[in-house]
Amino acid sequence: MIIGDVFRQFPWRDRRGVTWDVSVAESVTQVSWHTESRHGFGIGKATVRIREVEFPDLETRVHLPIAHIVDLQVSDHMENRGVGSMLVRQIVEECRRRGHSGVGGDLSRQDRDHFDKLKHFYEKLGFTVEFYGADHPANDGTILGSIKMMF
Q: Is the pTM of this model over 0.85?
A: no
Question: 34 falls in which pLDDT band (50, 70, 90)?
Answer: confident
Q: Evaluate if residue 6 carries a pLDDT over 70.
A: no
CA angle 95, 131, 44 (to 5 degrees): 45
- Asked if residue 75 has pLDDT above 90, the reply is no
pLDDT confidence bin for 29, thresholds 50/70/90: low
Question: Considering the domain 46-150 in this protein, what is its CATH number?
Answer: 3.40.630.30
| pLDDT at residue 132 greater than cutoff 70 | yes
As a whole number, mean pLDDT of residues 92-119 equals: 85
Say how many C-beta atoms besides its own lie within 10 A of residue 122's C-beta.
22
Residue 58: pLDDT band (50, 70, 90) is very low
Does 11 or 120 have the greater pLDDT score? Answer: 120
DSSP 65-114: EEEEEEEEEE-GGGTTTTHHHHHHHHHHHHHHHTT-SEEEEEEEGGGGGG
Euclidean distance between CA atoms 91 and 69, whole angstroms: 8
pLDDT at 90: 87
pLDDT for residue 57 is more than 60 = no
- Strand, helix or coil at 53? strand
Average pLDDT over residues 99-128: 88
Q: Where are the domains of the chain?
A: 46-150
H or E stretch at 12:
strand 6-13
